[in-house]
Amino acid sequence: MKRHFAIVLAAVAAAALFGGLVYGVLVVAHVSEPAATTVYGLTLRRVWATAAAAVALVGVVIGGLALARSARPFGTTSGRLGAIVALAAGLIAVINGGLSLAMANGGPGTGNGVVGGAAAFVLGLIALALGGLAQARLRRTTLSVGK
């Protein structure tokens, strides 16, 4: 029971931290004010930002798996490819999320994809961090095994 509570509490804390980081990116990009009139439905910029956020989410998942696999010193699933994929996906997401925010001329609800762009930016940074940690751990275990 205590373990389940700890997992739920950690998930809620992670969601709150993610929401705070996305809002912080929107404030820094000066697009945090909601639109006077809301645009409903999909726009091209929303699809672009959502696709970038999806790529970032895939990068986070693959980076987490690569980091978990890099802890194993032996085996065929060392996580090297996963770390490279996470780094590439994170870089693509950060660039596209930043471009989406830079091209936006309004806040949430304008159809410019600013929330998706901010989410892609934050998740892309997380994917970059996970991929970099996995690469560093792989390099460290390779050096220690090679001695």
Is pLDDT of 147 > 70?
no
Banded pLDDT at 18 (limits 50, 70, 90): confident
- What are the tens digits of pLDDT across the range 93-113? 999 999 998 888 877 888 888
Query: In 79-113, which ranges are continuous DSSP H helix?
Result: 80-103
20 or 145, which is more confident? 20
CA distance 68 to 48: 30
Weakest mean pLDDT among 34-38, 65-69, 95-99, 123-127: 34-38
pTM of this structure: 0.81
With contact defined as beta carbons under 8 Å apart, do 79 and 65 qualify?
Answer: yes
Average pLDDT of span 14-19: 85
CA distance 21 to 14: 10
- What are the tens digits of pLDDT across the range 39-79? 788 888 899 999 999 999 999 999 988 888 766 655 445 67
With contact defined as beta carbons under 8 Å apart, do 59 and 90 qualify?
Answer: yes
